[in-house]
Structure 1
């Protein structure tokens, strides 16, 4: 196995002066060198071959001892020196100070076909940023990360990728519900792949300490290597950088809302400067269309990171990034100008996204009212978001409201809850919708094809992931392989996999891992 190594980050940015691997405050450094802890008996569970191909790893390489040893942390690849990033962040709206890669270790940067990426192990042991944690991860959360990163990619959502999933052979102690009842679970390691793992919190750390030299070095480095399209200089360069991050963040959130994804932990240390989804913890897909739903047990009371609040939280996090970059600009007005356009731009992009979901190519002023009334209707009784929008594409221009309703009825969890008033409202809306699609010039078949390209049939529902976890815990990885292949084609009909195009089963409504999840991993 041959990797084409480059070490730009560690070569060009300041390193921690100490290599003592104990929890501590790290000053005036962007990273700390750290060795992964050797697992006792690593074994490969699954590899995303398409990700391996991104940096020149072949099928033969995947089966090699080099692959197993490198991506389990058992050995350090020649010419590399693993490291953990230093960053800070706001967690649930509160300043948390130094955080850093507490259970993530960056192996190296690689370049292939003129594209570079960073390879990172999650769960490979402690770092100086582990605080009171052990730096390891368990099979449960690692399966969720591995499956979700790839599922999001194939949904067309900007995301980190996942190369491999391995067992460490070691046991890891976790309190899954923070209930005071910890238990040992199988340890696991995921290799994550991204252009970089630089976050909003990297900039917050140095701004908070008034370490402006390191702040500027990090920002200049980030623009040079990851935003080469920015050609401006001085203050304008930093403003263009902030504008670019704001735009890609907005694009990412629109995609989240399109497919019904809820991140669950939108802290500033979990926000990538690339506008990609990062850190898959207690995430979930909206099943019942409830904008107030959050998958995170820690967020149960205040629901800060609920589905409907994700755009506002993205903007809040961008405010924190703006504050961090302010010392390089020394003028709040241009930063505020970017922030002030975010909500307006989001509403425009959201409206266009919803038009696509509804099959509208022609833009009409009344679309906003039709969409708003639909969102209200979807909340009247428990309605499955994925099934509703997918089946909506089957409605034809000549359908009566009653026939149209029959085509979406499978999305309701309890049809008995549909009283006469709610049924009347649905029939009225479907009548308006029929009139609206009759204003479109495309055929029913063309519109359905267009809608099916943006409304997925298959998403990684929490109960599906939990079934996979339960089997994997017994050493059976067949469902893991099945779901991985299913989620690579989320927009295709896949009639052989029709059983997964179904509402959440009743047994999963309150089962641990199927409804809400903790940050425990």
Structure 2
């Protein structure tokens, strides 16, 4: 029988990261370099009026926590106003490559780990507050977060989880009652915005950059300590640390990263800022900043205004960037292995696992469950080429295809009409006529292949509906929820949050939340374009 849920302010915390690794002896919060240490002890800065805006019941149940009232001791913990005796709050030290350039020390500038909460199932989850005040790594910032970016992170963390994408989670969204001044697009127009704090949850928030900063400073013993901690806690099946185990550990990180990015590519998620300090060592989607959802299928699209010059982090570049980031991690781990060349096969394994995972997911989205007599890879590759040529809505295309397939298989005489209806539903005004012709041609080849499947038409359609979401967190939907929340209306946020928990269900009462991007949102800031401040 499971234990009764407890209030967060009564929960016992553990501190494996702080216990195992080197702490900065200074408690000064002013921005500074912190050589030789893994983290800095910190204290959250209290806010004026912490109040609960949103809460993830599903994650709370996994953690064994009860929902708190809008104001009270538990919400004070979630805002950083109250630190429990069992907590040892810390800000981690890490570095990273930002847009391909080494940036030196970065670190948790507006995030603070509170420690790990043991869950009823025996797992331990680190709870981290984002926006709870300055740390030694805040550089020129104030360590705070605005409601706009916090709401986006809360919504997307949980939406990705319910889509089945490897991700960090979000437990709560708390308003602070204090304004925060931000220049959203770094264009000289700062303005005060409502402040907020997100409680992020993951087994660990260790990232590639934690290893990189140690290697960059020649801190080999600290590098070994961090690697041994991560392996012992999260990869115990690899055995006691050794040079060979470090190589196998890197291989596991490569495989996990490949699976994560394959999920991104098949649901249309664009991270927007794949710096090495934003890459989880556990293969989880981390740091939801200027992300976006592919609407017209444009591989060179990025939502991040900071990336408009190079499109380094565009949708279609994500698999390559992840591989480059893994190469940077391999460099950081090289002091621990006898032969750096021993790390190279893991990079090849990344490519293999990414391709195999992406193709398996695409086959499932298309209802291709039986191995064909010929390789399906050319069919899948030509689909992606046709989608890019036509620039149709990715989510609508796959979902409508899933609905149409049973009729296409049982009433082939109506196939042409059904396919035209599908393309009309998925097309945008800017969709290319030649691309639509290419997509029609592909659909004809796809139907020939689909008829080789042993399952009946209804079974194929049901399987496709379970693999193709109807609802994703389109940026314009998040923007509408933000505008309402800033005006004090949480209903759009709550409605969107509930719908995104069941992205594969029809939910006809929420049909408008499955609509293509409206024309007004095509160029609107916050709906089409975002920045690292978003």
Would the alpha carbon gap of residues 5 and 138 (structure 1) be closer, same or farther in structure 2, given more than 3 Å must change?
same
CA distance in 2, matches of 1:403, 1:49: 41
Does the CA contact (< 8 Å) of 1:4 and 1:112 recur in 2? no
Question: Are 1:107 and 2:114 counterparts?
Answer: yes
Residue pairs, 1:120-519, within 5 angstroms: 120-364=128-372, 365-393=374-402, 394-395=404-405, 396-397=408-409, 398-399=411-412, 400-414=415-429, 419=433, 422=435, 424-519=437-532
Q: How far 1:81 moved relative to its partner?
A: 2.1
CA distance in 2, matches of 1:476, 1:64: 18
What is the DSSP-based 3-state SS (H/G/I as helix, E as strand, rest coil) of the residue aligned with 1:511? coil
Moved more, 87-96 or 335-344: 335-344
CA distance in 2, matches of 1:402, 1:424: 14
Q: Gapped runs of 5+ residues in structure 2? A: 1-6
Q: How far 1:10 moved relative to its partner?
A: 0.9
Would the alpha carbon gap of residues 418 and 122 (structure 1) be closer, same or farther in structure 2, given more than 3 Å must change?
closer
CA distance in 2, matches of 1:260, 1:242: 27
Q: Which runs of 4+ in 1 moved over 3 A?
A: 61-64, 421-427
Would the alpha carbon gap of residues 201 and 385 (structure 1) be closer, same or farther in structure 2, given more than 3 Å must change?
same
Q: How far 1:139 moved relative to its partner?
A: 0.5
Does the CA contact (< 8 Å) of 1:405 and 1:430 recur in 2? no
CA distance in 1, matches of 2:31, 2:437: 61
CA distance in 1, matches of 2:436, 2:153: 40
Question: Are 1:92 and 2:99 counterparts?
Answer: yes
CA distance in 2, matches of 1:423, 1:272: 38
What is the DSSP-based 3-state SS (H/G/I as helix, E as strand, rest coil) of the residue aligned with 1:19? coil
CA distance in 2, matches of 1:519, 1:64: 31
What is the DSSP-based 3-state SS (H/G/I as helix, E as strand, rest coil) of the residue aligned with 1:71? helix
Q: TM-score, normalised by structure 2?
A: 0.94
CA distance in 2, matches of 1:317, 1:79: 36
Does the CA contact (< 8 Å) of 2:255 and 2:353 recur in 1? no
Q: How far 1:232 moved relative to its partner?
A: 4.9
Alpha-carbon RMSD across the aligned residues, in angstroms, is 1.5
Q: Gapped runs of 5+ residues in structure 1? A: none
The equivalent of 2:3 in structure 1 is: none
Does the CA contact (< 8 Å) of 1:405 and 1:426 recur in 2? no
Q: How far 1:52 moved relative to its partner?
A: 1.7
CA distance in 2, matches of 1:48, 1:57: 10
Would the alpha carbon gap of residues 76 and 154 (structure 1) be closer, same or farther in structure 2, given more than 3 Å must change?
same
CA distance in 2, matches of 1:353, 1:260: 12
Q: How far 1:423 moved relative to its partner?
A: 5.2
Q: How far 1:284 moved relative to its partner?
A: 0.4
Q: How far 1:357 moved relative to its partner?
A: 1.4
Does the CA contact (< 8 Å) of 2:297 and 2:387 recur in 1? yes
Does the CA contact (< 8 Å) of 1:117 and 1:195 recur in 2? yes
Moved more, 390-399 or 290-299: 390-399
Moved more, 444-453 or 307-316: 444-453
Would the alpha carbon gap of residues 434 and 42 (structure 1) be closer, same or farther in structure 2, given more than 3 Å must change?
same
Which string of whole-angstrom CA distances, capped at 9 and with x for unpartnered residues, describes residues 14-60 of structure 1? 1001111110000111110111110011111111112122222113x
Would the alpha carbon gap of residues 338 and 423 (structure 1) be closer, same or farther in structure 2, given more than 3 Å must change?
closer
